[in-house]
Structure 1
Amino acid sequence: MRTRTRTTWGAGVVAALAVGLLAAGCSVPDAGDGQATEGRDWHWDPEAGPDDAAAFMEVAVPKGATGVKGAVQVNPQEDQYILTFVTSEKAAEELAASLHSEEPLTARKNEIKPWSVLLERLGLAKPYALKGARWAGVCPPCVSNPRRKKVQWIEIYVRGLKGDRARVYLSAF
């Protein structure tokens, strides 16, 4: 009986921590009028670009990548960093693996994601709505990734293009 109690208690603690992290760390912007939900202000950092996003995420844009775009949305609780580029399929796969997600890149059904306003800023389609896009996400502190200790969450979408090319979409806070 003692083992079951500890297991149940441990699962409860993990669930409470996950809910707490999500509640404390996520503010979702609305359709783009400069106001986040519940009336909180947010704005785009006019000085920030792909280098700032890559530096925060601790990722290197592969040599030869094209269509590199990035932005930073400044929020009251946490800033959102987005980065996208086109590279080889192999480089995209290696980048996804370097995030240390417990699951490999997998196809996901169309979902509503808080990235809509972020990607509109870069003039790109939502990756989760594109056929063939694969996703992986990870909480770097949860997988003991000291390289990304200031990142609470990072996710990647990879969508294959013609030839051996793929568009990479990254978002982190």
Structure 2
Amino acid sequence: MNVTVPKGATQIKGAVQINPQEDVYLLSFVTSEKNAEGIAEGLHSGDPLKAQKKNFAPEGERFEHLGLAEPQTLAGTRWAGVCPPCVNDDRRRKVQWIDIYVQALKDDEARVYLQAF
């Protein structure tokens, strides 16, 4: 994904799910709301982070493997997605899609969930 975990981030968890057709990369951590927003902007999504209209069932139990709730099921979680090759992001040319979810926590903190394939 070529995403740098911000200095001072806590609760850092990551995994790679190996699949025959495409691998799935997971990364989650807690950081400041400002850092979370900066990471989302750095993905060069055509749309900014936006609130999900309704929570929906996840495609699989990916983040659950890391001991975390699936971000799609959490109220108030904001989402953005981007196709790095489509926006000419050469830093991430090895992945076809990145989802970022940002869950607001307390005291200006946020949990960042990143999923790429």
For the criterion TM > 0.5, the same-fold answer is: yes
- Does the aligned pair in 1 maintain the 2:77–2:104 contact within 8 Å? yes
Work out the number of aligned pairs and report it: 116
1:68 pairs with 12, 17, 33, which one?
A: 12
Superposition pairs for residues 6-155 of structure 1, below 5 Å?
Answer: 57-108=1-52, 109-114=54-59, 116-155=60-99
1:164 pairs with 95, 108, 112, which one?
A: 108
In structure 2, how many angstroms separate the alpha carbons of the residues matched to 1:71 and 1:117?
13
Deviations 1:52-89 (CA, angstroms, capped at 9, x unpaired) = xxxxx000000000000000000000100000000000
Please state how far the C-alpha of 1:131 moved relative to its aligned partner. Answer: 1.1
- Does the aligned pair in 1 maintain the 2:80–2:100 contact within 8 Å? yes
Q: Tell me the SS of whatever aligns to 1:85.
A: strand
Please state how far the C-alpha of 1:119 moved relative to its aligned partner. Answer: 1.1
Flag the structure with higher helix content.
1
In structure 2, how many angstroms separate the alpha carbons of the residues matched to 1:99 and 1:111?
23
Flag the structure with higher strand content.
2
- Does the aligned pair in 1 maintain the 2:103–2:111 contact within 8 Å? yes
TM-score (norm 2): 0.96
Of all paired residues, the percent bearing the same amino acid is: 65
Q: Which runs of 4 or more aligned residues in structure 1 lie more than 3 Å from their structure 2 counterparts after TM superposition?
A: none
Give the CA RMSD over aligned residues: 0.8
Please state how far the C-alpha of 1:113 moved relative to its aligned partner. Answer: 2.8
| Bigger RCO of structures 1 and 2 (CA < 8 A, at least 6 apart) | 2
Q: Tell me the SS of whatever aligns to 2:62.
A: helix
Please state how far the C-alpha of 1:110 moved relative to its aligned partner. Answer: 1.2
List alignment gaps of at least 5 residues for structure 2.
none
TM-score (norm 1): 0.65
Q: Which amino acid aligns with 1:105?
A: L
List alignment gaps of at least 5 residues for structure 1.
1-56
Q: Tell me the SS of whatever aligns to 2:30.
A: strand
In structure 1, how many angstroms separate the alpha carbons of the residues matched to 2:116 and 2:56?
18
